[in-house]
């Protein structure tokens, strides 16, 4: 099995940009928790069936897909719903990520988990790479990208691990505050380092 490099960072830090660069330039396999989380609730999945049983048919869209807005409201209104969803989906997501990691064929692979610290998942990786930016950069980028209110961005930041908590689990750090010019160099350097660790 390939060596696993866990990749994490707060909202707006540029995790996806970094992961895509490893993939596009060095053909490194990526297992992305956000994509897996969507897969385990696709129509016909065990996850979605359980959610429908628990919340009723109204939790689905017309086309049978999960109504995420509706689910968010239910979870937000009642913390026990969040607990129930987490207990259902986290083991499924973890198992699916594990299966995908075992199928990786690149010398090392990236395991992208935005909420790695929050969910204590750093143990799934051999090393942890944190994409680090200042809170101001996070706010500016998220506002520009998602077109949400500043209030909403601040509440997302509050719900996520702090910058210090993320840096505390980091083996490697990419500072991504400036524009992407130096990013390619930094990634190339890490790529060489990770290849050396694989031998």
CA-to-CA dists, residue 189 to 80, 81, 89, 102, 175, angstroms:
45, 44, 36, 25, 13
**Six-digit token pair at 60?**
């689905």
Alpha-carbon dihedral of residues 186, 116, 88, 92, nearest 10 degrees?
40
Task: Let me know: does 52 contact 4? Beta carbons within 8 Å.
Answer: no
Binding-site residues for ATP sit at 12-17
> Which three-class secondary structure state does DSSP give residue 190?
helix
3-state secondary structure of 49: helix
Task: List the binding residues.
Answer: 12-17
Structural tokens at position 30: 């990526």
Proportion of the chain in helix, strand, coil states, percent, rounded to 5: 55, 15, 30
């Amino acid at each position: 099995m390939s060596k696993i490099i866990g990749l994490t960072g707060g909202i707006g830090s540029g995790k996806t940009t970094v992961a895509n660069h490893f993939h596009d330039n060095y053909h490194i396999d990526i297992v992305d928790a956000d994509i897996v989380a969507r897969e385990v609730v696709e129509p016909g999945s065990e996850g979605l069936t359980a959610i429908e049983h628990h919340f009723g048919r109204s939790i689905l869209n017309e086309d049978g897909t999960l109504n995420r807005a509706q689910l968010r409201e239910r979870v937000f209104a009642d913390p026990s719903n969040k607990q129930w969803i987490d207990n259902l989906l986290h083991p499924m997501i973890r198992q699916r990520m594990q299966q995908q990691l075992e199928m990786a064929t690149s010398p090392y692979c990236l395991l992208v988990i935005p909420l790695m610290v929050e969910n204590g998942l750093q143990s799934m990786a051999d090393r942890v790479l944190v994409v680090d930016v200042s809170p101001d950069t996070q706010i500016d980028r998220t506002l520009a990208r998602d077109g949400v209110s500043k209030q909403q961005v601040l509440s997302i930041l509050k719900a996520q691990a702090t910058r210090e908590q993320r840096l505390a689990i980091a083996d490697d750090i990419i500072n991504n505050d400036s524009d992407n010019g130096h990013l390619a160099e930094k990634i190339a350097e890490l790529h060489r380092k990770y290849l050396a660790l694989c031998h």
